[in-house]
Amino acid sequence: MLKPNGSQLKNNKMYNKPKVSIIIPCYNSEDYLKKAVDSALNQSLTEFQIILVDDGSTDKTPVLLQQYKMEDNRVEVVTHLKNMGLGPARNSGMGVATGEYLFFLDADDYIHPNGIEVLYEYAEADRLDILQAQHIIHENGKKTVEPADLPPFPHPISGVEYFNAGFFIEPKACGKLWRTDFVKKHNLQFSTGYYEDIAMVFEAFALAEKVNNLVFATYHYIKRADSITQQPVTPAHIEGFKRSLTDMQHLFMRPELTGKHSAFTAGFFLYLKELSIMALKTGDQQLIDDAKSFVTQMTNKYAQFLSGNRLLSFPKRSLLKQSPFLYAKMIKAYKKS
């Protein structure tokens, strides 16, 4: 397998069957998309397709994207007449993707120069459905590698086995390599609104037959002050999170995902706690009441699956089973003290 060494090649040849389709949604991204797109164009693996999705931009983003298309025939541009959000933009990109694998890149992030080649060779060796790699978070001048604990398995395992191996799944589409045939066979799609990838990632792992991890940080995630994840919590954030959790409910119907070692059940209840924390941060009593009602409903419905879950300590498990919302209030009170 190729070792990461930072070498870069450039090739304008168009391939009938690209090895990887790199999908980059762009919305009013003129100030920072150059680093993202250039990092994709300058990959050591040259047999790729780059799909730039203009999601209804009102700045100079559409002009910049067309320039990239004119300069390199491996670049395609998909245009939305109005802003539809990250999920629909990715879905549009997948609709025209012809690569063997898919890689999602946000317009304000970038990729390691050898990232795509390393991922492709590792995934292709076993025809993986999903390959999960590490990423580097850049925030306030500091770099952090996450997930810190991401052990590669000696051979591919199923997504269900992954859930039950005691490891939490990183609920992000970016930084992973996805086999296109697998994604299209199961019609995997991103939802609209915020937190559009959580339900899709969990659904994909529940269906995948061959997954593995790679201890190599391919993806550079830039936390900007005006990025989606840094914005103040709004009703749209709350609704997006609720929608994702609602979309995940059907996975409780699969007993192989709800055992004592399952990261699915533990993750679901931890997300209920995170939703509660988000609502409490708004200070909006109506939003808080609505979130509390939703969390209570979900807890009453699925608390039996939390009993005996060995991924959570007994105190944490007990608090979550009683009320993720109460747990969130205790955390909030503790931080104030």
> pLDDT for 186-229, tens place per residue?
999 999 999 999 999 999 999 999 999 999 999 999 987 655 55
Range scoring the smallest mean pLDDT among 5-9, 106-110, 157-161, 298-302: 5-9
> pLDDT for 245-287, tens place per residue?
999 999 999 999 999 989 999 999 999 999 999 999 999 999 9
CB 101 within 8 A of CB 120: yes
Residue 168 CA to residue 311 CA, distance in Å, equals 9
> pLDDT for 66-122, tens place per residue?
999 999 999 999 999 999 999 999 999 999 999 999 999 999 999 999 999 999 999
Give this prediction's pTM.
Answer: 0.92
Does residue 315 have a cis peptide bond before it, meaning omega lies within 30 degrees of 0?
no
| Nearest CA among 201, 10, 22, 187 for reference residue 99 | 22
Q: Which CATH class is domain 20-228?
A: alpha beta
> pLDDT for 126-175, tens place per residue?
999 999 999 999 998 899 999 888 889 999 999 999 999 877 888 999 99
CB 287 within 8 A of CB 186: no
List beta partners, residue 216.
none
pLDDT of residue 16: 73
Residue spans per domain, the chain: 20-228, 232-336
